Amino acid sequence: MKNSDYTRSAFKHVLAWLKNKNMQTSKIAMQKVLFYLQEKGLSLRLDFEPYSYGPFSRQVMEIASELQSDGEIIVGRTDYTPGSKFADTLPEEGRREVNAHLERFCELLGHDFSFDNLELCGTVLYCIQALQENGLEADRDSVIHEVEQWKGKKYARSAINAAYDALAEEFVNTGC
């Protein structure tokens, strides 16, 4: 079954936006950006699960395969590139909304799209959301505990703290 036209269009728009900003169009960047956009309320209908490098959706890979089959993108070993038939098909209204979220995501990352920063921020956001979805408080200590359970000692607590601080204001429900 093909993924929804909206999700495919959002994928292509994110790829075009990253390319136009001279940012990396890596597979991990696409996974984390689409996860962030979905968590901001875009109806992408992607299923994310905890994986080696943070939240991961097999559907993102399926979309990439579909787009490659259609000649719209080239799937490299670690990245995606627009192909000869590439077209950004997201309607203008959708572009404005997605662009605002993309700009904010870049700010939250401190404009650092390195592999480790994408993995860490995606992981922290996933832990925040998972705790809250299970009726638990997503305070700093709980999130650090969850990240360390998942990643071991890969990330220093100071790095986890910084990612938590960047994401908490937008994603942690305070009950107020």
* Mean pLDDT, residues 117-145 taken together: 97
Evaluate if residue 117 carries a pLDDT over 60.
yes
Identify the pLDDT of residue 134.
Answer: 96
DSSP string, the chain: -PPPHHHHHHHHHHHHHHHHTT---BHHHHHHHHHHHHHTT-------EEETTEEE-HHHHHHHHHHHHTTSEEE-SSBEEE-TT------HHHHHHHHHHHHHHHHHTTT---HHHHHHHHHHHHHHHHHHHTT----HHHHHHHHHHHHTTSS-HHHHHHHHHHHHHHH-----
Evaluate if residue 130 carries a pLDDT over 60.
yes
pTM listed for this prediction = 0.94
Digit-coded pLDDT (tens) for 65-92: 999 999 999 999 999 999 999 999 999 9
* pLDDT confidence tier of residue 4, bands split at 50, 70 and 90: confident
* pLDDT confidence tier of residue 176, bands split at 50, 70 and 90: very low
